[in-house]
Amino acid sequence: MLSEGAGELVRVLRQMPPMTRTELGDSTGWARTTVNSRLEELLTAGLVRSAEPMNGARGRPASRFTLEPSRGALLVADVGASSARLARADLAGAVAEHESVPLWIGDGPDAVLGLICERLSRIRDAAPAPVWGVGISLPGPIDSREGRVVSPPIMTGWDGLAVPEVVEPALGAPVLVENDSNAMAWGEHVTAEPPADELIFVKVGTGVGAGFVTGGRLVRGAHGAAGDLGHTRGEPPHGGEQPLCRCGKTGCVEAYAGAWAIERDLRAAGQDVGSTPEVLRLIAQGNPHAVRLVRDAGRVLGGALAHAVSLLNPAEIVVGGQVAAVAGEHLLSGIREHVAARALPLATRDLRIRLSDRPHEAGITGMADATSTWILGPSQLAAALNRVGPPPAPPL
């Protein structure tokens, strides 16, 4: 068993560089005897190790202590509409290795989660340490309290599914479930130098979603529905009728800016396209019809984002996803144009709008960090230690 105070010390050490006993006392406000007893608990549990000593001004160098990330492993899956990235991470959330696998989210939970569990099982079996937890992001609304999918527009057969109830028995570890745009937003936050504490992340891929970080915290809303930008109302770039969205409503932002909507409009313009990769190829080749549609998509996105900018006053908007990675400035120009024209001047004065620097890694990085925070948190840490048992004995 681990005391509550020792658990709090784990969370301090996870967030900070190696610290001496004196620095830990200053940071926590604990007496030296309290610091020593809680450090001893963590050393016995294998959760903390001594780092290189710090040279002091006089006497022997003071010992420093840090989290032992190799004590356990995490399994992470960043699942999109047409592919997934799978990874192993250490207890600090650092991704050690990852791979990609094609899939189609509309094939249903049995097929998709079956594939994910099969691939993650292989990664688990090759891990150098016991698996403490699993993190999965999905492209739909998630009730994060239960890991339950709620009314997803493109995830046929997933509505109401509590994902941990399926995945946990297969992988033998507790499961955290998150929306994919939230995971990407968090990945951008934790990898920025310094961390970006006021951020909007917009995913433009097969569909459209967003994640909000404010005050250094991810905004999920009361039921996990925050950030569903793709299914807010968009303004037609050239007037006319509003298109039907996959969710059943008309005029959604995604119905103009999602890859499936651009594919629809390219076919209407006489282009022979039948898949998202073909749409991306035309954009990359500079096809005039594709470029025009991407610029229009940016204007629709910019109009929708202008409201969020006025409400949240972010420091930056980061745009990622398959379409964004290929379209680049064609997409950003429309976003910038409409955000600048429609958001409050004070909110846009120092606003930076840019493409993601890590379009393929943000989701898996964010999900790994979120899973680390969760598994080392008060609701999971003691149970995880009881489940995996004591650390291995050192070699003789």
Structure-token pair, residue 82: 């047409």
First vs last C-alpha separation in the chain: 27
Distances (CA, A) of 153 to 105, 148, 157, 392: 11, 14, 10, 47
Structure-token pair, residue 54: 């710090």
CATH number 3.40.50.300 is the correct assignment for the domain at 4-67: no
Alpha-carbon torsion angle 355, 308, 189, 121, nearest 10: -90
pLDDT on residue 61: 72
Which stretch of DSSP H or E encloses residue 179?
strand 175-179
Task: Identify the three-state secondary structure at position 96.
Answer: strand
Provide the residue-wise pLDDT of the chain in tens; the chain has 396 residues. Answer: 788 999 999 999 998 999 999 999 999 999 999 999 999 999 999 999 998 766 555 656 778 999 999 999 999 999 998 899 999 999 999 999 889 999 999 999 999 999 999 999 999 999 999 999 999 999 999 998 899 999 888 898 999 999 999 999 999 999 999 999 999 999 999 998 888 899 999 999 989 999 999 999 999 988 888 999 999 999 998 888 899 998 889 999 999 999 999 999 999 999 999 999 999 999 999 999 999 999 999 999 999 999 999 999 999 999 999 999 999 999 999 999 999 999 999 999 999 999 999 888 999 999 999 999 999 999 899 999 999 988 877 665
Q: What is the CA radius of gyration of the chain?
A: 23
**Do 171 and 124 contact (CB within 8 A), yes or no?**
yes
In the chain, list all ranges with CATH 3.30.420.40.
71-184+361-388, 193-355
Q: Please give the model's pTM, rounded to 2 decimal places.
A: 0.93
Specify the fold of 193-355: Nucleotidyltransferase; domain 5 (3.30.420)
246 CB-near residues (< 8 Å, 6+ apart): 153, 154, 207, 254, 255, 260
Report how far residue 97's alpha carbon sits from residue 160's, in angstroms, rounded to the nearest whole number.
Answer: 32
Report how far residue 113's alpha carbon sits from residue 79's, in angstroms, rounded to the nearest whole number.
Answer: 10
Structure-token pair, residue 374: 């969760």
**Do 50 and 63 contact (CB within 8 A), yes or no?**
yes
Residue with tokens 């569903």: 228
In the chain, list all ranges with CATH 1.10.10.10.
4-67
Angle at CA of residue 298, ends 296 and 304, nearest 5°: 110
Q: Which CATH class is domain 71-184+361-388?
A: alpha beta
**Do 149 and 159 contact (CB within 8 A), yes or no?**
yes
Angle at CA of residue 319, ends 214 and 263, nearest 5°: 135
217 CB-near residues (< 8 Å, 6+ apart): none
Give the model confidence (pLDDT) of 301-342 as tens digits. Answer: 999 999 999 999 999 999 999 999 999 999 999 999 999 999
Report how far residue 306's alpha carbon sits from residue 294's, in angstroms, rounded to the nearest whole number.
Answer: 18
Alpha-carbon torsion angle 85, 89, 93, 98, nearest 10: -30
Q: What is the largest distance, in Å, between two alpha-carbon atoms of the chain? A: 80
Distances (CA, A) of 195 to 14, 33, 88, 216, 314: 15, 34, 23, 8, 13
